[in-house]
Amino acid sequence: MEISDKRKRWTKNNTLTPEKLTLAHHVLEEIREGTDVMRALRTHPLEGGAGYLTKAALVAAYNQMVETGALEADRVLLERIRMKPMRTLSGVTTVTVLTKPYPCPGKCIFCPTDVRMPKSYLPDEPGAMRALQHEFDPYEQVYARILALENLGHPTDKIELLILGGTWSSYRRDYQEWFIKRCFDAMNESERGVLRDHKDRIETAGVDLATAQTINETAAHRNVGLVIETRPDEINQDELRWLRHLGVTKVQMGAQSFDDHILEVNKRGHDVECTRKATALLRAAGFKIVLHWMPNLLGATPESDRLDFAKLWQDFCPDEIKIYPNQLLANAELYEYWKRGEFQPYTTDELVKLIADIKPTIPRYCRVNRVIRDIPGNNVVEGNTRTSLRQDIQSEMQKRGTHCECVRCREVRGKTVDSRTLHLNDLTYQAGAASEHFISFNTPEDGLAGFIRLSLPAKDAVLTGMPDLDNAALIREVHVYGQSLAVGEEQSGAAQHLGLGTRLLQQAEAVARLHGFSRMAVISAIGTRHYYLDRGFERGEYYLIKSL
């Protein structure tokens, strides 16, 4: 579907007639005075029993009235009426795209196969459905998603681009470069708050990736993070340099298990040592690391999974994890094992108890992004079909009186932060050959307002082959929480605008000097380069460098 067609369909469903604008004005004024959003909408029905204003129409009316001067811009009001605010409460706006169907080097027996999709994805998963609709075109996927998010009232100035689709590294490099370049084109070809229709777009066919990246440094929709997913056996020095050429800042890898026997019987195609080496290489190159872990693989038990999970924090120490319980699907080889009675999925109750046991053990430096795949239950042959497993686990932990202290569970999100009450904490841990410093600002209630990941490689650390990193302390991530705000926009009490990022950088510099490092290197996303350049960093080949 053309983006302009999608815009027309959305506009038709949310046409702002004079009646709707008048109603919207009354509703917005009531909400501003403290009335609940849904209650305000319900007290102002449309004429003739035509129902009520939708939240999407309310957001559109707000934007139109602010643009025409009929209403004064009010960020607090917009936050109250914004649809699905959780999408941007971590401080950035995530846009997910999928690569085209392509052969995967893996032969994993648990992985579903559908000729219409990249390996391991199903066509009725939410993100996959959008990709299929746009025939996996990267430009159309990014453009349509930004348009949808803006229509829902979300700021789209700071975009984390999440590229899914199996093993990224197995795709041809010319396709990889084209794919990412077209994603940047979609982010670049827009004005702040207004996306162009096809006929108004800038012609960028002759622009190469490097130029598209340079444009994005000051674009209205800046890329503040670029994520790909791959396999541990695809990571080497050459791949590190290639990923930095593309602008990648975070890598997701399927570790799945830390038991060589389990990996072998599930035909994973690599061993635990391979995952260890890949993790060490990525850390030495400054990448943020996300590991996928799968309980309930063939040969595993809840008891063995509990022991296996503990191995995550021995050398690997990922920054983020996704817990993806193995799900029995009819189009996976594992289905044949199940039919022969050689495999039995855990029940929902068994999964909830297992994850409720392990979640409180997760270190404070790690973020749990997911605890279940978004696979619709109708695809699951037997076992858990609930996609709301995270809520079930939270309820179980509340009953037990336990809690999780991972990054996600402590984020301040949309809460107001008083900078005078924040305290600085430096959590230090060993991850292979690197000494990691998770330096954070915390509220008195232990809320996480912002953090920096500083990695101090040992002298005999893994070699990356990149001169930028010689004798450099590595800044792998700087993140300040709160509702994602437009670039240059301020909000009283918002963690993103208390200067916490600069203060965290200063603290990281002090720690690096104390440990004898002569310079710092930061793995900057394209859209955050100027943030670091304004703070004394200079451009290197693949990183931004600052002499100490």
Distance CA 94, CA 91 (A): 10
Q: What is the pLDDT of residue 83?
A: 55
Check residues 487 and 475 and name the one with the higher pLDDT: 475
Decide if pLDDT at 273 tops 90: yes
Enter the DSSP assignment of 298: T
Q: How confident is the model at residue 84 (pLDDT cuts 50, 70, 90)?
A: low
Q: Which of 481, 485, 480, 432 is nearest to 455 (CA)?
A: 432
Q: How confident is the model at residue 8 (pLDDT cuts 50, 70, 90)?
A: low
Q: What is the mean pLDDT of residues 281-297?
A: 98
- Residue 134 has a CB neighbour count (10 Å cut-off) of 21
Q: What is the pLDDT of residue 461?
A: 78
Distance CA 166, CA 164 (A): 6
Domain boundaries, the chain: 3-81, 86-230, 254-410, 419-547
Q: What is the pLDDT of residue 190?
A: 63
Distance CA 67, CA 193 (A): 11
Give pLDDT tens digits for 217-251. 999 999 999 999 999 999 999 999 999 999 999 99
Q: How confident is the model at residue 46 (pLDDT cuts 50, 70, 90)?
A: confident
Q: What angle do the packed helices 138-151 and 55-68 form, to 10 degrees?
A: 80
- Check: CB of residue 221 under 8 Å from CB of residue 188: yes
- The CA–CA distances, whole Å, from 504 to 424, 427, 450, 482 equal 9, 13, 8, 16
pTM summary value: 0.85
Q: What is the pLDDT of residue 154?
A: 81
Distance CA 440, CA 425 (A): 5
Q: What is the pLDDT of residue 490?
A: 45
Q: What is the pLDDT of residue 393?
A: 97
List residues bridging with 95 in a β-sheet: 161
Decide if pLDDT at 309 tops 70: yes
> Looking at domain 419-547, does it have CATH number 3.40.630.30?
yes
Record the tokens describing residue 541, joined without a space.
Answer: 């080949």
Give pLDDT tens digits for 372-401. 998 888 999 999 999 889 999 999 999 999
- Check: CB of residue 32 under 8 Å from CB of residue 79: no
Decide if pLDDT at 312 tops 80: yes
Q: What is the pLDDT of residue 39?
A: 81
List residues bridging with 544 in a β-sheet: 522, 539
Decide if pLDDT at 1 tops 50: no
Q: Which of 503, 526, 517, 506 is nearest to 548 (CA)?
A: 517
Task: Determine phi and psi for 476, rounding to 5 degrees.
Answer: -95, -20
Task: Determine phi and psi for 233, rounding to 5 degrees.
Answer: -80, 5
Record the tokens describing residue 248, joined without a space.
Answer: 């990648």
- Residue 113 has a CB neighbour count (10 Å cut-off) of 14
Q: What is the mean pLDDT of residues 179-207?
A: 68
Helices (DSSP H) in 189-324: which residue ranges?
209-216, 237-246, 260-265, 272-284, 302-310
